[in-house]
Structure 1
């Protein structure tokens, strides 16, 4: 049996869901590949290059800043599952002016996306608010700090259901990144120098990934079960709404990458990082 390491580089349903479905439903085994799903959050780039990577945002940033020829063979979604969550006093993105926002570091993919969305709302992340950089974890410390008032807002990911948390805690959901910035953001990517694009193990992982996406699209009840296992603070009805709002419309099988939109996203990320942009075709075209 072929073998392959598949690393996620961020916690939460956004990165982990598709691979989890493929693993739990036996799709990797059906394709004749033994896949070790690895926690690569703290890994250096050189270690990530030894296997396939789920996080297309991180690999894109590495391609821009390190010159590594990462290539995406499958794209699961182009709507990043990150949200701006405000405390009781912060009711809109405009209210962030002069406030303290807990957020990922600017040189990370989620942090870069956050800064792009802030600018779309007329906010300079370096001048108009205080960005409190933290290690995101599962964002429970952010919720604690929102309660005690040491921060005014937090940029959170898919280890929680934002609407449910906002309602339960008396917070406000300010914006979903996916409404304001579109970028192919999770899937399967490799460095072809280390893993050839025609590797049988890699192609098996891609097929299993596509099958998992079809399951999410074609079996809503099972998909809601999986979402509930990830987000176990949600009721069944809340998990259903999460699926209908964030998963069903955007995690789609046989996705065709719009290279025009992808290029606009790359240009925005490169501008935010202060580096030269690269063409979208070499990075995304194998999955298009």
Structure 2
């Protein structure tokens, strides 16, 4: 659901309004970034991961952000009553050293645990796999996306923590290649207009968005409304990310990858297209 505005843009023909015959596809991030480089993909919503790749030297840039707070949820076996009770346990994540893994560790730190010593994270892929592992007792808890938290609750699991209540961090958004920016800035600008309008549409038209969520994920209205209200809390107010959060990510990646060279924020993000979309120059 972190890509909700993009899906709503597709549903409401916002891409067509800017002349795009857009195909929105699901693809693993590990495949999406090379596809951007080769030109097989024009854009990706994996903006945070794109920045990580750009820091490592790939000529890619994030140009907008949907989420600037975590939209992930920690769900657990019903016998677990607190995060502290997970000490010595196992937490299911989608993949190691990706957003779900990082957020699991951030949650543990917030509650005074040491994620390197007190828990083990297991990469289990899909939401269904993670929920099934908790139900079977193979793991004690899992990091899931909205609305999988409500689905997990309906299957008897316990919602322990909504990470967005206290974890800031870059999430999904819009990213592309430096080559695309340099060679076809007009196309990038048109996509930025779709992106900004999709955020505005999703935020301002709650009823339409909830109806879309119900249809897209086959949810009850109560679950859809709850998921929407939580997701909206994580959205960027203007399609950008605070400079502070970008710098935190850059410094973290430099530290963990032992990158000594200085990296300017302009090397990894370019919000000029989103700004122009919000306030078109005369």
Alignment partner, residue 140 of structure 1: 128
User: Alpha carbons of 1:98 and 1:63: their partners in 2 closer, same or farther (altered >3 Å)?
Assistant: same
Q: Do structure 1's residue 238 and structure 2's residue 229 form an aligned pair? A: no
CA contact (8 A) 2:164 2:234 kept: no
CA contact (8 A) 2:124 2:130 kept: no
Number of residue pairs the alignment of both structures matches: 267
User: Alpha carbons of 1:269 and 1:86: their partners in 2 closer, same or farther (altered >3 Å)?
Assistant: farther
- Give the Å deviation of 1:173: 1.6
CA contact (8 A) 2:180 2:188 kept: no
- Give the Å deviation of 1:281: 4.2
Equivalent residues in 2 for 1:105-116 (5 A)? Answer: 105-116=95-106
Distance 2:258 2:215 in 1: 40
User: Alpha carbons of 1:201 and 1:34: their partners in 2 closer, same or farther (altered >3 Å)?
Assistant: farther
Q: Which moved more, 1:173-182 or 1:52-61?
A: 173-182
- Give the Å deviation of 1:245: 2.5
TM-score under structure 1 length normalisation: 0.82
Helix, strand or coil at the partner of 2:45 = strand
CA contact (8 A) 1:161 1:231 kept: no
Distance 1:210 1:170 in 2: 38
Q: Do structure 1's residue 186 and structure 2's residue 172 form an aligned pair? A: yes
Distance 1:62 1:98 in 2: 32
Alignment partner, residue 78 of structure 1: 68
Q: Do structure 1's residue 14 and structure 2's residue 5 form an aligned pair? A: no
User: Alpha carbons of 1:114 and 1:284: their partners in 2 closer, same or farther (altered >3 Å)?
Assistant: farther
Distance 2:165 2:84 in 1: 16
- Give the Å deviation of 1:114: 2.7
Helix, strand or coil at the partner of 1:33 = coil
Equivalent residues in 2 for 1:39-118 (5 A)? Answer: 39-41=26-28, 43=31, 45-49=33-37, 50=39, 51-64=42-55, 66-118=56-108
Distance 1:119 1:278 in 2: 27
Q: Which moved more, 1:253-262 or 1:217-226?
A: 253-262
Alignment partner, residue 32 of structure 1: 19
Helix, strand or coil at the partner of 1:78 = coil
Distance 1:210 1:28 in 2: 11
Helix, strand or coil at the partner of 1:36 = coil
Distance 2:250 2:81 in 1: 30
Distance 2:263 2:111 in 1: 26
CA contact (8 A) 1:257 1:285 kept: no
Unaligned stretches of 5+ residues in structure 1: 1-12
Distance 1:36 1:199 in 2: 20
Alignment partner, residue 243 of structure 2: 259
Deviation readout 1:67-126 (Å, 9 max, x if unpaired): 123222221121232111110121221111111111133332332333233333333333
- Give the Å deviation of 1:44: 5.8
CA contact (8 A) 1:56 1:72 kept: yes
Alignment partner, residue 6 of structure 1: none
Q: Which moved more, 1:219-228 or 1:177-186?
A: 177-186
- Give the Å deviation of 1:226: 1.6
Distance 2:183 2:106 in 1: 32
Which residue, out of 138, 142, 146, partners 1:154?
142
CA contact (8 A) 1:182 1:265 kept: no
- Give the Å deviation of 1:284: 3.3
TM-score under structure 2 length normalisation: 0.84
Structure 1 vs Structure 2 CA RMSD: 2.4
Q: Do structure 1's residue 121 and structure 2's residue 105 form an aligned pair? A: no
